[in-house]
Structure 1
């Protein structure tokens, strides 16, 4: 749980070796570049290999269900030729699919009329055939139309009527618009559809064959983006005649590696401490097992460089909140089964492995809490030894309210203590300590009954907030005005603590819905012998699946909300920006 300490590094070298040095530095991937001048406008990219075309071709191959073994060496690979082949295959496939859809629709419309060919114009004295799909209840209008017609087919909804007329009948003489059948016989349409299906199979086989080049295309995409990044950084260096300078942030733990790089490249390396008014980027470091919290934190808000890393606190608190909201061991096992099914597919990247670890922790914590409350798909424990493990009654409203509010108060207490630690070099830290004392005394007074000591500690906390919240002139008029304004947050912190009651409410709702579906299925089975058993199974499956989805969604949304809104409001003073290393992208092929 740490924000890595950064140093400001400057590299100085010869201008003629600038591009080679930048390429090597990009391969090293240690620095967050500080622009020393405004970048120039990006250069125009050749349309034949532009990034959008590359990504479109790559997406076309990645969406193929079956993929071939990858070619990991660059032999026999021409990017322009490959893009032309992929674009041709993609366009041909789209055209064939459009024609297939048209033929399937035309065949479906023409099938009730049968397979026929139009006669020669003089065979019917230059009369023509007009086709209408008429609802049965409107056939009386056809009979009164005065037209020459014949019903060639009838089903329970429609009559298939053919009108013989030299010109198309007026719209007001027939109850419906005419059906467009075309002049191609049904047998010919079916033959055309078969030919197109064969062509589609050939195109799909060609697409599968092209998937062997996915890795090479990914490398080209990465190389294009790396080249654009390199050009961007090259425009941000400070060039002075025959030398250039590059500045950036680097982790203090990686200074030795950067020093070795500078010596090998013949560069001058200058290291400086960040000045107080500077705002370095934030580089978080967490283990892969607990890194899921960092992914959540980074997605919502990056903490400031001089703040603290809430990743591990969010990891464990989110896990606890999710488990309380789920409150069912059966649902936890189902979630664990889903994680087991996707386990191998979530190992390609570091982010996926971190989220996989978070999902496993959620499943285990939810199972432990579900066993503690004794709920298994809304039913009691199936075994006596499991029933003995039930230690919490989720229907005990008083206990669950005390638990939820206690969790909320302790969570915000921790938030204010962490804020005090961040502000430890300022007297404002004591204002956060004051809020922590006020929350703790109010919680203990509510649980134990308020006594004089509780009121004294509560008043002491508010006095600390009043006197230490000002930016300057503490205990002076201006400082007291700022402190008075800060005291208005007492209603806010009270509401934030009560917001944690959603843990109890959502957990109770989940358990109640599960019990309701169980009871409903039992009642249906008893009321309808025979088919009632089938309906019971159907209600159980549909009901618990719906409740499971709602529970997971509620656990994620409200579990994160309590961390990223209530907790963040009291623990993080400022927002930072993420450390963006000047590095090259890595592409790893699969070989099976």
Structure 2
């Protein structure tokens, strides 16, 4: 649950042994290479480095093909680069032709009512044809037009009018704007469309023919990626006539491994800490059962190396937010059944295992929350039933649920500022998140607390607000106070920081969406249930079938909306509200220079 500490490694060796050293370093793995050349890659080098990416694109494109050929496993006639280039050429050609076909179809549809005609090459003795699509309700205005015109086609809504005139009629004299038909005849457009269709069929046949290489592409994909990474590593070194040098970031806990590597290959090795101006990559380390939090974090923003790892906090807060938005134990149980059916399939890969754990925790939280509010596919538990005794909250109690949602928001943002204060401890700016922590808690105490000690607690809340504002006023500035006049700038920076009061309270109120979305889902489920019951009683015989259909369609729709809301807003509250107060710097992920095997994630 932390960002791994890294060291900068500088290897130096003989240029004649460079290829061997880089190959062995790739086999060893665990380093993030640092470019030592400022001029970057040439176009040829850039194209070569993208070959692995192209191989992946080609493989995906072939796998999406509906009709696949028998797989070839003999590598005798297999040309990896040739197959990749052929597939990508077909993909690009089919995309271009498909776009052109769509444009032609649209064009043909537009001019088809005018018929197949060709404009005279020598003109009409100074006259021209002007085309108008006139709605039937405006045709009366056409009779007032003092021009020569003719209706060439007519349907229920429009009349297709051709005007013969030397110059385009003024826009004010016509009921509608002119339509552009172009000079290409309809028959030629149709011939061109037919030719494109035939070409697309030929390309599709070539694509199907190339699907015979899918198995070999899968086998060679990892090898291609490894070869490209190794080739790219060659371009990152700093070379001279006799020596080469390469730098890399590596975990501090693995230094002994790299020291042995340097000794084994007779390399000079210098180990140093990150210096001022360095931007090391971010390597997150969490227990494997909670590691899916890393995937959620990387999806939006990788924290900076000198920051902190929010993975676990995001993991559990997302599960809680999703549960509060879903707000139905029946829906959660249904998803658990689906998860059970995919349990073994998800366990086949590392990413699948992470997703499985996140899903299990999220659905478990959803089930518990659904039982606590007593919602089962929109129905409440029967009176005096065991489930009724487990119902602790009423989702229709607007005041209580709103207070609970605000409390969750206060706790979440307080956690963000608390972690930020801990991370900055020892610096003057650590008092800034402490100030925000005091403000958000003090504001909640003033607003929500009631009971026999209400006056005392509210006084404590006002005191917390005052202390928080004082901290912001005095410690928001990083200026060094040398002269008395410097205090003026410190105070001004403090007032600038205080303008964030409206923002933090707005962020807290944003958590009311948990209650609003949960109530919306529960209300919609109840509405579908009531609608189905009304149909059942109102329509004898067929009412049962119709009510079942309403229940299925209604709950599937509601379930889809709830899941979409749970994912989108569950992540939003983490990425926008929580990150705003806890993750200050953006970093980039640690990418190990290591060999990849077939089937590895």
**Normalising by structure 2, what TM-score?**
0.74
SS at match of 1:307: coil
Q: Once the two structures are superposed, what CA deviation does each residue of 1:262-313 show, in whole Å capped at 9, x if it has no partner?
A: 2222212111111243221111012221112111111101111111100000
Corresponding residue for 2:411? 410
Is 2:508 aligned against 1:497? Answer: yes
2:469 and 2:498 in contact (8 A); partners too:
yes
Q: Does 1:536 align with 2:547?
A: yes
Give the match for residue 183 of structure 1.
Answer: none
Distance 1:472 1:556 in 2: 42
Matched, 1:290 2:301: no
SS class of match (1:354): helix
RMSD value, Cα:
3.8
Q: 8 Å contact 2:218–2:598 — kept in the other structure?
A: yes
Aligned partners of 1:215, 1:255: CA distance in 2, in Å?
39
- How far apart, CA to CA, are the structure 2 residues paired with 1:485 and 1:444? 25
Distance 1:303 1:464 in 2: 26
Cα drift, residue 45 of structure 1: 9.7
Match of 2:460 among 453, 457, 469: 453
Structure 2: stretches of 5+ with no match in the other structure: 99-185, 188-200
- Out of 446-455 and 526-535, give the one that drifted further: 446-455
Measured after TM superposition, the shift of residue 413 of structure 1 is: 0.7
Answer yes or no: is 1:570 the counterpart of 2:577: no
Residue equivalent to 1:136: none
| Conservation of the 8 A alpha-carbon contact between 1:64 and 1:207 | no
For residues 84 and 250 of structure 1, do their structure 2 counterparts lie closer, same or farther at Cα, with a shift above 3 Å needed?
closer
Relative to structure 1, the CA distance from residue 23 to residue 467 in structure 2 (aligned partners, 3 Å threshold; closer, same or farther) is: same
Deviation track 1:59-112 (CA, whole Å, cap 9, x = no partner) reads 35423679999998x765633599399969x99xx9xxx9xxxxxxxxxxxxxx
- Residue in structure 2 matched with residue 470 of structure 1 by the alignment: 477
| Alignment map for 1:137-536 (pairs within 5 Å) | 210=212, 214-381=214-381, 384-448=385-449, 449=454, 451-473=458-480, 476-536=487-547
Shift in Å at residue 333 of structure 1?
1.4
In structure 2, how many angstroms separate the alpha carbons of the residues matched to 1:55 and 1:236? Answer: 24
Deviation (angstroms), 1:420: 1.0
CA spacing shift, 1:589–1:269, aligned 2, 3 Å:
closer
Alignment of 1:114-153 (within 5 A): none
C-alpha distance in 2 between matches for 1:316 and 1:405 = 18
CA distance in 2, matches of 1:498, 1:70: 58
Q: 1:381 to 1:207 in 2, by over 3 A?
A: farther
SS at structure 2 position matched to 1:530: coil
May I ask how many residue pairs the two structures share in their alignment? 493
TM-score of the superposed pair, with normalisation by structure 1: 0.75
Q: Please list every run of 5 or more consecutive structure 1 residues that lacks an aligned counterpart in the other structure.
A: 99-177, 180-196
- Relative to 1, partners in 2 of residues 1:293 and 1:42: Cα closer, same or farther, differing over 3 Å? same
1:203 and 1:364 mapped to 2: Cα distance? 49
Q: Distance in 1 between matches of 2:591 and 2:51?
A: 24
2:278 & 2:464 partners in 1: Cα distance? 39
Q: 2:597 maps to what in 1? A: 586
Q: Secondary structure at the residue paired with 2:218?
A: helix
Q: How far 1:441 sits from its partner (Å)?
A: 1.8
Counterpart Cα distance in 1 of 2:70 and 2:289: 32
Shift in Å, 1:56: 5.7
Runs of 4+ more than 6 Å apart:
44-47, 65-72, 84-88, 202-208
Specify the SS of the correspondent of 1:377. Answer: coil
Give CA-to-partner distance per residue, 1:444-489, whole Å, 9 cap, x none: 2222245322212210111011100001146811111001000011
> Counterparts of 1:522 and 1:62 in 2: how far apart (Å)?
47
Cα contact 2:80–2:217 (8 A) shared by 1:
no
- Equivalent residues of 1:32, 1:580 under 8 A apart: yes
1:12 and 2:23 matched: no
Residue aligned with 2:410, SS: helix
**Distance in 2 (alpha carbons) for counterparts of 1:584 and 1:215:** 20
- Change in Cα spacing, 1:246 to 1:50, as seen in structure 2 (3 Å) is closer
User: Shift of residue 540 of structure 1?
Assistant: 0.2
What is the deviation of 1:334?
Answer: 1.8
1:163 matched to which residue of 2? none
The 3-state SS of whatever aligns with 2:393 is coil
Please give the alpha-carbon distance, in whole angstroms, between the structure 2 residues aligned to 1:15 and 1:557. Answer: 52
| Contact 2:83–2:210 (8 Å) recurs in 1 | no
| Cα contact 2:87–2:207 (8 A) shared by 1 | no
SS in 2 for 1:246: strand
Deviation at 1:257, TM superposition (A): 1.7
User: CA–CA distance in 2 between the matches of 1:534 and 1:337?
Assistant: 25
Query: How many Å separate the matches in 2 of 1:227 and 1:10?
Result: 23
Using the alignment, how far apart are the partners of 1:77 and 1:288 within structure 2?
43
540-549 vs 272-281, which moves further: 272-281
Is the 1:306–1:422 Cα contact (8 Å) retained in structure 2? no
Of the structure 1 ranges 283-292 and 581-590, higher mean CA displacement relative to structure 2 is found in 581-590
Q: Aligned pair in 2 of structure 1 residues 444, 67: CA closer, same or farther (>3 Å)?
A: farther
Residue pair 1:54, 1:83 contacting (<8 A) in 2 also: no
Q: Distance in 2 between matches of 1:50 and 1:485?
A: 51
The one-character-per-residue Cα deviations of 1:386-418 (angstroms, maximum 9, x if unpaired) are 222111111111111111111101111111111
**Alpha carbons 1:437, 1:457 under 8 Å: kept:** yes
- Aligned partners of 2:600, 2:318: CA distance in 1, in Å? 34
